[in-house]
Amino acid sequence: AQRVTQPEKLLSVFKGAPVELKCNYSYSGSPELFWYVQYSRQRLQLLLRHISRESIKGFTADLNKGETSFHLKKPFAQEEDSAMYYCALSDSGYSTLTFGKGTMLLVSP
């Protein structure tokens, strides 16, 4: 069975500090991985997906198949980055997404 693990419930950093939100997955096939974000009083929305190799709002994530990880990184955190972040894994048929339990990021001034 596929599984997504986000080991930190809460990550608190100061503005300007680097951020790394951890995501590890368990999956036997070739994974499709995503990061979704939920800002306060807003809908869940896609932040980035590994296949696009994109950088959104300064965030990047690299798929490491050897370590089965897809950590989300940003070199300099901003207060507006405070939100709940979910890592998600797509199944082999691309029908469903399995989400991790989420990490709340708090960026203090």
Specify the residue, 26 or 78, whose C-beta has the smaller distance to other proteins. 26
- Using CB under 8 A as the binding rule, whether residue 93 contacts other proteins is answered as yes
C-beta of 34: minimal distance to other proteins in Å?
7
* 63 to 92: interface string for other proteins, x by CB under 8 A: -----------------------x---x--
Residue type at 45 in one-letter notation = Q
> Does the CA dihedral 70-23-25-32 come out positive or negative?
negative
- Using CB under 8 A as the binding rule, whether residue 35 contacts other proteins is answered as no
Choose the stretch contacting other proteins; rule: CB under 8 A; options: 12-20, 28-36, 63-71, 73-81: 28-36
| Binding residue for other proteins, selected from 25, 36, 59, 70, defined by CB under 8 A | 36
- Using CB under 8 A as the binding rule, whether residue 9 contacts other proteins is answered as yes
